[in-house]
């Protein structure tokens, strides 16, 4: 039996203002609005300017979540930033966020689970709060994928975007909003979605640069198939752990990578598409930020409210996957 429950006190999101449309991409690579729309559902994405790093977006999203939570930065005990586009290898992006907010009491670290990072973060926050270690955790998903996108590769550059979302989770004596979290991973799929250069395996060199190893590489078709299977499986496992069925859910918020993936998951779960949240037409795939940005927008649009039962489900490089059942 857990000592405490977890309440979501606030959410916030921040998307950089610059919009890159499919028409803009038509001028950059051999593609078309028609191809991108029918294959992915994406119409436009947001792009951070040259001077903007991931922590800059994260800080803006965090400020909004803190304001809604009616907390000061000093009230935060821990900051977790899920990202695959940290400002630097170190210090962590979470440390830059801590400094930017003035969250002087907070421990801070980054979490690398690619597009599933926010769900992994929910699991960590849940455990730290439920076992009584911390009262207030700021969990952020933030990315500037435009900085690791190969703008000459039409297979990938149409898919990704930049943005950040944040959530403030707090200890409660009442029942927990986080009913269950399910996580999974399989490193055997490492090569299908990968940024090979810049780490200790292939340190930055002229050769890594010439071979464009500092950009995302993806085998789209293969990723697609596993994404559908694993997200549907994760959604079902988390529901089972929460003692719920798909029919109980008010909304599913899936990772926003491709509308066809989302449709395939809904079909597999025999779940109505009208109760699935989609915003990828505006933002594309923003990796660790997608589910929290979508949850924030769903809350602000009134698609979910106090008492609503929803499920977040994500899939990403690694491969990693996960799902969380939440009663707001
Ligand atoms: C990438 C993705 C949209 C491609 O869709 P697809 O239906 O699988 O398309 P294919 O890979 O079969 O490519 C079909 C053709 O379109 C071409 N193509 C690829 N990108 C294109 C683009 N932007 N514009 C025009 N044509 C393009 C390919 O070169 C290929 O041409 P060919 O048949 O002459 O070789 C899709 O596979 C996908 O979304 N995969 C999952 C990606 C994902 O979610 N990643 C993140 C997970 S977190």
* pLDDT tens readout for residues 276-289: 999 999 999 999 99
| Ligand 1 neighbourhood includes 109 CB (under 6 angstroms) | no
Torsion angles phi and psi, residue 258, rounded to 5: -160, 130
pLDDT for residue 169 is more than 80: yes
The fold of the 5-175 domain, in CATH, is: Peroxisomal Thiolase; Chain A, domain 1 (3.40.47)
152, burial (CB in 10 Å: exposed 0-12, middle 13-18, buried 19+)? exposed
> For residues 102 and 76, what is the distance between their CA atoms, to the nearest angstrom?
10
pLDDT for residue 1 is more than 70: no
> If phi over 0 gives left and psi between -120 and 50 gives alpha, with beta otherwise, what is residue 44?
beta
Which one is the CATH code of 179-327: 3.40.50.2300, 3.90.1640.30, 3.40.47.10, 2.40.240.20?
3.40.47.10
Distances (CA, A) of 234 to 79, 114, 180, 223, 272: 26, 16, 11, 16, 18
| Ligand 1 neighbourhood includes 37 CB (under 6 angstroms) | no
**pTM of the full predicted structure?**
0.97
pLDDT for the residue numbered 322: 98
Atom 47 of ligand 1: nearest residue by CA position:
316
- The yes-or-no answer on residue 285 being catalytic is yes
Ligand 1 centroid, distance to 221 Cα (angstroms): 7
Q: What is the pLDDT of residues 96-137, one digit of tens each?
A: 999 999 999 999 999 999 999 999 999 999 999 999 999 999
Q: Which of 115, 136, 157, 258 is catalytic?
A: 115
Domains 5-175 and 179-327 agree in fold: yes
Q: What is the pLDDT of residues 175-194, one digit of tens each?
A: 899 999 999 999 999 999 99
> For residues 117 and 119, what is the distance between their CA atoms, to the nearest angstrom?
6
- CA dihedral sign, ordered 102, 105, 109, 114: negative
Q: What is the mean pLDDT of the chain?
A: 97
**Is beta strand 44-46 parallel, antiparallel or unpaired with respect to 19-21?**
antiparallel
pLDDT for residue 3 is more than 90: no
Ligand 1 centroid, distance to 214 Cα (angstroms): 20
Q: What is the pLDDT of residues 141-156, one digit of tens each?
A: 999 999 999 999 999 9
Q: What is the pLDDT of residues 238-251, one digit of tens each?
A: 999 999 999 999 99
| Ligand 1 neighbourhood includes 8 CB (under 6 angstroms) | no
Span 146-175, mean pLDDT? 97
Ligand 1 centroid, distance to 207 Cα (angstroms): 27
Query: CA angle 24-28-33, nearest 5°?
Result: 50
The set of residues, in sequence order, having a beta carbon less than 8 Å from that of 78 and lying 6+ positions away, is 106, 107, 108, 125, 128, 134, 136, 137, 138
Torsion angles phi and psi, residue 5, rounded to 5: -105, 175
pLDDT for residue 61 is more than 80: yes
Domain extents for the chain? 5-175, 179-327
pLDDT for the residue numbered 2: 78
| Ligand 1 neighbourhood includes 184 CB (under 6 angstroms) | no
């Amino acid at each position: 039996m857990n000592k405490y429950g977890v309440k979501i006190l606030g959410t916030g999101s921040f998307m950089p203002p610059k919009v890159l449309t499919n028409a803009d991409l038509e001028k950059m690579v051999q593609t078309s609005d028609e191809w991108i729309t029918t294959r992915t559902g994406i119409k436009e994405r947001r792009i951070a300017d040259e001077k903007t790093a991931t922590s800059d977006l994260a800080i803006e999203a965090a400020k909004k979540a803190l304001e809604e939570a009616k907390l000061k930065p000093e009230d935060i005990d821990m900051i977790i930033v899920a990202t695959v586009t940290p400002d630097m290898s170190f210090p962590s992006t979470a440390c830059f966020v801590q400094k930017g907010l003035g969250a002087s009491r907070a421990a801070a670290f980054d979490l690398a689970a690619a597009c599933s990072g926010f769900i992994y973060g929910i699991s960590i926050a849940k455990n730290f709060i439920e076992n009584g270690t911390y009262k207030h955790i700021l969990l952020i998903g933030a990315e500037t994928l435009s900085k690791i996108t190969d703008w000459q590769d039409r297979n990938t550059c149409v898919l990704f975007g930049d943005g950040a979302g944040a959530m403030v989770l707090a200890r409660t004596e009442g029942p927990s909003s986080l009913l269950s979290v399910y996580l999974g991973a399989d490193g055997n799929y490492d090569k299908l979605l990968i940024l090979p250069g810049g780490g200790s395996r292939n340190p930055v060199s002229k050769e890594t640069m010439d071979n464009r190893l500092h950009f995302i590489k993806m085998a789209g078709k293969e990723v697609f198939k596993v994404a559908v299977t694993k997200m549907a499986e994760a959604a079902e496992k988390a529901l089972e752990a929460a003692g719920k069925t798909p029919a109980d859910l008010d909304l599913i918020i899936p990772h926003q990578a491709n509308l066809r993936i989302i449709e395939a998951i809904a079909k597999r779960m025999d779940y109505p598409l009208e109760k699935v949240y989609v915003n990828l037409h505006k933002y594309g795939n923003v990796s660790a930020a997608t589910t929290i940005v979508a949850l924030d927008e769903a809350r602000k649009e009134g698609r979910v409210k106090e008492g609503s039962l929803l499920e977040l489900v994500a899939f990403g490089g690694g491969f990693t996957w996960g799902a969380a059942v939440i009663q707001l």
